[in-house]
Structure 1
Amino acid sequence: MIREACVNEGTETSGQEIRNVRVLQRFLADVPVEMHVLEAAPGRASLIARVRGTDPTAPALGLLGHIDVVPVDPDGWTRNPFGGDLIDDEVWGRGAVDMLYLTAAFATVLREVALAPEKPRGDLVLLAVADEEAGGDYGLKWLLQQYPDIVEVSEVLTESGGMRMGSHVAIGVAEKGSAGRLLTVQGKPGHASIPYGARSAVFAVGEILQQLSQAVPAAELGELWDAFVTARIDDADLAERLRDPVRLDTAIAHLGGIAGYAYAVSRVTISPTVLRAGSAHNVIPGSGSVQLDIRTLPGTSDDDVDDLLRAVLGPLADETQITHLRGWDATASSTETPLFAALERAVEAVAGAPVVPIMAAGGSDARFFREIGVPAYGFGLLGPAWSYERYREGVHGHNERIDLTSISLSLAALRRIVAERIGAAA
């Protein structure tokens, strides 16, 4: 799948995940599974493969893996990013961590269950979907709208889990929401050779950026925060400060590589990402804009985001048009479910480590299932050296690669979960 280079640039014609669908079809050929290939647009294909269970009242376990990858800068790589090379027990390539190793593991266990001498009690469903990296419009979002019966499951395992948090293994049970905004300001255009009397929108954009650079949204410590601090922080004094919203921000500076994650999951974040003003070097632009990536916590409404922006902008708010871009609410799944309990037992059995539930700072396709009431968890079981920091470096970074030990651990834990949940000994 790495070698098929299904690079998703966010356009309708990119991705071309049909190539990875064909890889999976070949892998599952002559295996007794129900397979559907569904295209939201030419080449934007997803594969749904189901092993039917014998008990219609048993769980239907979905294994949700995306088959698209983000673009690469080849100059930053020391090996071919689409070579899929096995070097020193590591598989190299774009998507190795995010998340083709898991999609491959999901397909492997589905094949084992399908070939087992006894049928499982419940359904096992591989959901190998397109377009996760650009929001799912050509992938799971479309599938749930157009083919809900084909993708129907009662519980889901997907990405964003398995990294080590101290002596614990992190399992994703929640993720932040997104509330993108476009801020537009007006100036007074004119010829650049006679700037007197004109007011460049570039300066207005600069004033907005200055306000945003000084903004530090207040910390809001949710129910997962304490578990994160307990798992990751050994220093008792530092842990106490992290649990205090008043002292939190000074404490975060002492967290090293995990500081960025701690900051992100403890508040709403606002990141300017795209600036636009002007089109010709000799014209003073009359309008300008700033695009914001805003990530929200559970319970944060669109009105809350707009109120926050107006507070940050201060007097500039009256001169700024705020336009809502694409967004979605933060989502979470309860840790009081049979699937989460099975996850805990599997990780303990394979790795001898307890689980810590965490919130992901970014988004994934898990939200689409959570939004319709289906519990979804970020799964994986990476090797002991895979701290959260190492995991984040691998996701979308240069020289992305995954070691065989992590793949083996993830497979071992997955086999246990599948056997417990749907009664199949893979």
Structure 2
Amino acid sequence: MSERGEESTASTPAAPESALQPSATGSAADTIALLRALIREACVNDGSVGSGQEIRSVRVLQRFLADAVATGRVETHVLESAPGRASLVARLRGTGTDPDAPSLGLLGHLDVVPVDPDGWTRNPFGGDLIDGEIWGRGAVDMLYLTAAFACVLRDAALAPEPPRGDLVLIAVADEEGGGEYGIHWLVRQHPEVVRVTEALSESGGMRMGRHVAIEVAEKGSAGRRLVIHGKPGHASIPYGAKSASYRVGEVLQRLGEVMPAAQLGPLWNAFVSARIEDPALAERLRDPVRLDAALPHLGGIAGYAHAVSRITMSPTVLRAGMTHNVIPAMGTIDLDIRTLPGTTDAEVDHLLRVVLGPLADDIEIEHLRGWAATTSPSDTPLFAAIERAVAAVADAPVVPIMAAGGSDARVLRELGIPAYGFGLLGPDWSYERYREGVHGNDERIDVESVTLSLAALQRIVADRLA
């Protein structure tokens, strides 16, 4: 492991209120150029320690921020959790004259998931700009925001006066692999370097009707392994043996037939109000007894509605047998279980045994890696600034939502830091379109969405730090 840091601070008078106001022209062209450069670095994370090699994108960001660092207002740290697994933290120091000033974090990741080149119609790492769209793996998830975060920090550093509080770019490694070589390592090993009081990250900006979705919560993970025993024997004489493979099949059938019941949390009604126009359908969705029968009427949003209205259990990895001529004595099923806020491990185990029913007595349940669901309140000054910025830029209201998946923002929430999934995508970017772009083939984002997100971000930074 290695650490490299460059530090410089400057003492300056408090900034006038106009110092950090968004410029008329903005920096959209610079953000788009930076996004294309980050795509081309192809920091593909397959989950192994040697993948990612985010140091390449860190070097891109260092070059981009060179003018900001030269002002003497920005200190930067390049921090490697393993060879090549680098994160960049750039802190624009505030004036220090306002003890109530926030320290606003901009949390982005640099790694991207693997691609199947045969599924792409363009080079997934070309960063092509075609017909107003930037193509490439990571364009949506989440390099466009990481680029915008860097651009806003640079512009704030080059402004005539510094902000009243710190503005911190945290561009991390390994988000796609769970964050052990990124945000988790940073908060353990370098807590002061990444210290913030509030933060923006990914998983927001898609449209829910006329509303713009901002993520305030995300489900937890409670992975489980089901260990299933049978009676072994020679595969040529199956009579009298009891293959664990058959028993795995029985368990899978049970998991497919029994669904955990809906548990509608405080964000559910806001989602229904924003997205569902039909009053009769909305009424059914607000009733946990009638909700499941209404799901088929939701079209492409049904999967999201199902996921955030309950605990979900998805079989992902199956194992049974070692060789073709031996009836297996043991099989395992790995379950990806996503939990709602407040769910405990004991409740997950109890629910799983209820779902398994009569099969449960003969099955061992092992705990895999997991984490609790996290939530940030929607009555904070930062969330209010997001609302004002979205209204000003897009003339749209905001709806707080829960993400079905996970992000690095949960690590900050676990520390008591309010963190929100941000973005402001174009009017045609429904939740369904957003999900198709994330980890999908032909991933791309349009210039309009980058420009809107940048404009809203500039206003948020000005609102909180001017």
**TM interval, short-chain normalised:** over 0.9
Please state if 1:76 is matched with 2:119.
yes
Q: Which residue of structure 1 lines up, in the alignment, with residue 27 of structure 2?
A: none
Report Cα offsets for 1:240-278 as digits up to 9, x if no partner. Answer: 111011111111110000000000000000000000011
Given candidates 151, 167, 192, the residue that maps to 1:108 is 151
Q: How does 1:375-394 map to 2 (within 5 A)?
A: 375-394=418-437
Q: What do you get for the CA RMSD once the two structures are aligned?
A: 0.7
Structure 1 residue 138 and structure 2 residue 181: aligned? Answer: yes
Secondary structure of 1:256's aligned partner: helix
Matched, 1:44 2:81: no
3-state SS of 2:83 partner: coil
Render the CA deviation track for 1:347-400: whole Å, top value 9, x for unaligned: 000000000000000000010000111000000000000000000000001100
Amino acid in the other structure paired with 2:463: E
Question: Aligned match of 2:130 in 87, 93, 115?
Answer: 87
What is the match of residue 291 of structure 2?
248
- Per the alignment, in what secondary structure is the counterpart of residue 205 of structure 2? strand
Secondary structure of 2:49 counterpart: coil
Percent of aligned positions with the same letter in both sequences? 75
The question of 1:29 aligning with 2:61 is answered no
Q: 2:373 aligns with which of 316, 330, 349?
A: 330
Give per-residue Cα distances to partners, 1:18-39, cap 9 Å, x unaligned: 1111111111113232110111
CA distance in 2, matches of 1:380, 1:69: 18
Task: Provide, for residues 120-168 of structure 1, a one-character-per-residue CA deviation record: whole Å limited to 9, x for no partner.
Answer: 1110000000111111100001100000000000000000100000000
Out of 296, 316, 319, the residue aligned to residue 359 of structure 2 is: 316
For residues 196 and 13 of structure 1, what CA distance do their matches in structure 2 show? 48
What aligned pairs does 1:356-395 form with structure 2 within 5 A after superposition?
356-395=399-438
Residue 12 (structure 1) aligned with residue 49 (structure 2): yes
Letter of the structure 1 residue corresponding to residue 211 of structure 2:
H
Residue 54 (structure 1) aligns with: 95
**Which segments of structure 1 move beyond 4 Å, counting only runs of 4 or more?**
none
1:92 Cα deviation from its structure 2 partner: 0.3
CA distance in 1, matches of 2:323, 2:39: 41
Gaps of 5+ in 1: none
Measure, in 2, the Cα distance between the counterparts of 1:124 and 1:30.
16
Distance of 2:426 and 2:391 partners within structure 1? 13
SS at match of 1:253: helix
Which stretch of the first structure deviates more once superposed, 229-238 or 28-37?
A: 28-37
What residue in structure 2 maps to residue 400 of structure 1?
443
SS in 2 for 1:298: coil
Counterparts of 2:367 and 2:159, CA distance in 1: 51
Q: How do residues 178-193 of structure 1 correspond to structure 2 at under 5 angstroms?
A: 178-193=221-236
| Residue aligning to 2:465 | 422
Q: Does residue 172 in structure 1 map to residue 215 in structure 2?
A: yes
Equivalent pairs counted in the alignment come to 423
1:280 to 314, 319, 323: 323
Distance 1:136 1:22 in 2: 20
1: CA distance between counterparts of 2:177 and 2:415? 20
Provide, for residues 207-240 of structure 1, a one-character-per-residue CA deviation record: whole Å limited to 9, x for no partner.
Answer: 1101100111110000000000000011000001
| 1:209 paired to 2:209 | no
Q: Secondary structure at the match of 1:196?
A: coil
Q: Distance in 1 between matches of 2:88 and 2:253?
A: 47
Partners of 2:338 and 2:132 lie apart in 1 by 36
Q: Give the Cα–Cα distance (whole angstroms) in 2 for the partners of residues 314 and 387 of structure 1.
A: 39
* Separation of aligned partners in 1, 2:190 and 2:456: 30
Q: Report the alpha carbon displacement of residue 189 of structure 1 after superposing the two structures with TM.
A: 1.6
Within 5 Å, which residues of 2 pair with 1:150-169? 150-169=193-212
When the two structures are superposed, what TM-score results if normalisation uses the length of structure 1?
Answer: 0.98
1:198 paired to 2:241: yes
Aligned-partner SS, 2:66: coil
Paired amino acid for 2:51: S
Q: TM-score, normalised by structure 2?
A: 0.90
* Whole-angstrom distance in 2 between the partners of 1:245 and 1:313: 22
Partner of 1:354: 397
Give the secondary structure class of the aligned counterpart of 1:35: strand
The separation in 1 between residues aligned to 2:137 and 2:212, in whole angstroms, is 24
